[in-house]
Structure 1
């Protein structure tokens, strides 16, 4: 028969093991996700992915990469954090240094999001490499400013990108970078006018283009300049368009992005995240949001049981 001491030791070990297991389970739940969620596009299939179908899988677009406390804008670590919770389109921003290096930065100045100062166009890449990123609360992190090339390489097999090319940055240079990394199937260029969309389409007919189409006049302006339907991802604005626009674009096979960032995100915060479901049910395919983790939890319940798009989600 085991001694009292032996039984006490056994009970102690059992209790410790239970405590460790419970802590691990609690920690896993607190981080909210147990795996990364990837989108993988086989070579040459990006247009097939973005060809709208009734069984499409609704998605979030993480505005400026999806910053949260401790995770700054336009940082690869931030992109990875979002992918712990959901597959995503990552919207990110491109500025250019004085020595023509394309870097990920929303503002033309370094002051708000880094511990540096000055306009991006007036500083060198060497200087930017000495800086650290700050989150949106102004807290300094250990994360560095990535280059466009680094982000493009990261995206392959993981997430789709929509690239916001800031004023003064040549589309041609961005396209050359996309091609040099072989990231054509993961990269879409954001444009703010039909003329810019025409230029991008002429430079790179293989790339998807995020175009501003809030009404039929905007669609017709793009078509007049030769933008093919299967190159378009339609950003319909930051308020819901007339439902007939969604129907028209879907009949053309075009995915739609609704910008819920700003007012609609704030509405969700005050009235409940369930309102995200309404945006999708009324026709939005992708929600561009500052709250990708919260919105994605609602969209999870809207995914079709089976979909022709499922093969792209890993």
Structure 2
């Protein structure tokens, strides 16, 4: 009798263990998918480099923002000559670092000798991080949308997302349906930011086999079409509005309450160069 009881207890523990293992597998985070009533999310374009002393694509800048607000970090991936994935937007080091020359022509070791500058040209003590460092740091701190530059193979980015089990907090940005389909074939579980500004672009992605529950829709950089965003929401797709550029300037000139109106129109994520200002406006 006692032996039978121990056996039942063992089976129960084993079942719970298997259930726990399944629960922690690489399934996409609910964060990236639309749910009615979900709070607006702010995505800091290039990691928020428009604040003095905090360069773009820099872990110290990510941490500074994350200490003040829940934030999604949109960041850029380039690749050195020896195939190390670095967080840099430009093709060259000239604008944002103390170095010069093309990133693809220089070795990783050279990148680590450089210091970063903020967008106003102020020098900092911060250095260029790798994608590995960013993924390792970001777990349970921020979410990411990873902007993969043209010279960077999607295979290398997906492999690191898999290595760090980052599916719940990192999505991959694509700019056309073919690239989105390639990313989906590489990993059926990874979330993909896709450009879907109208029904034709949506159908193009669907035709290539990308399911709704793996899409985050980038809906452009103009004032949102609420009818189209509602259509995407009805499919369970979260919508990113690019307020960076003209819309951010409009909000700065007129009123930050414009961020509220864009959210009400269906832009439940906003990619902005003014993350702190947008967040504060949405809290009101």
Give the TM-score taking structure 2 as reference length.
0.89
Structure 2 Cα separation of the partners of residues 63 and 229 of structure 1: 24
Alignment partner, residue 102 of structure 2: 119
Secondary structure in 2 matching 1:248: helix
Tell me which moved more, 41-50 or 199-208: 41-50
How many equivalent residue pairs? 261
Q: How far apart, CA to CA, are the structure 2 residues paired with 1:100 and 1:164? A: 17
Cα distance in 2 for residues equivalent to 1:184 and 1:108: 27
* Partners of 2:224 and 2:265 within 8 A in 1: no
Paired residues for 1:93-242 under 5 Å: 93-242=76-225
For the Cα contact (< 8 Å) 1:193–1:211, is it kept in 2? yes
Indicate yes or no: 2:280 matched with 1:300.
no
Greater C-alpha Rg: 1
**What is the root-mean-square deviation of aligned Cα atoms in Å?**
1.3
> For the structure 1 residues 57 and 44, does the alpha-carbon distance in structure 2 shift closer, same or farther, using more than 3 Å as the test?
farther
- Native 8 Å contact 1:62 1:90 kept in 2: yes
Uncovered stretches (5+) of structure 1, i.e. residues with no partner: 1-40, 302-314
Deviation, structure 1 residue 44: 4.0
Are the aligned partners of 2:223 and 2:247 in contact in 1 as well (CA < 8 Å)?
A: no
Please name the residue that 1:282 is paired with: 265
Using the TM superposition, give the Cα deviation of residue 188 of structure 1 relative to its aligned residue in structure 2, in angstroms. 0.5
Equivalent of 1:54, from 29, 32, 36? 36
Map of 2:69 onto structure 1: 86
TM-score (norm. length: structure 1)? 0.81
CA separation in 2, counterparts of 1:45 and 1:295?
Answer: 29
Is 2:47 aligned against 1:65?
yes
Give the match's secondary structure for 2:158: helix
Measured in 2, the distance between the counterparts of 1:141 and 1:211 equals: 34
Superposed displacement of residue 42, structure 1:
6.0
Contiguous gaps of at least 5 residues in structure 2: 1-22
CA distance in 1, matches of 2:110, 2:141: 30
Q: List 4+ stretches of structure 1 deviating above 2 A.
A: 41-51
1:240 deviation in Å?
2.4
Kept in 2: contact 1:43–1:185 (CA 8 A): no
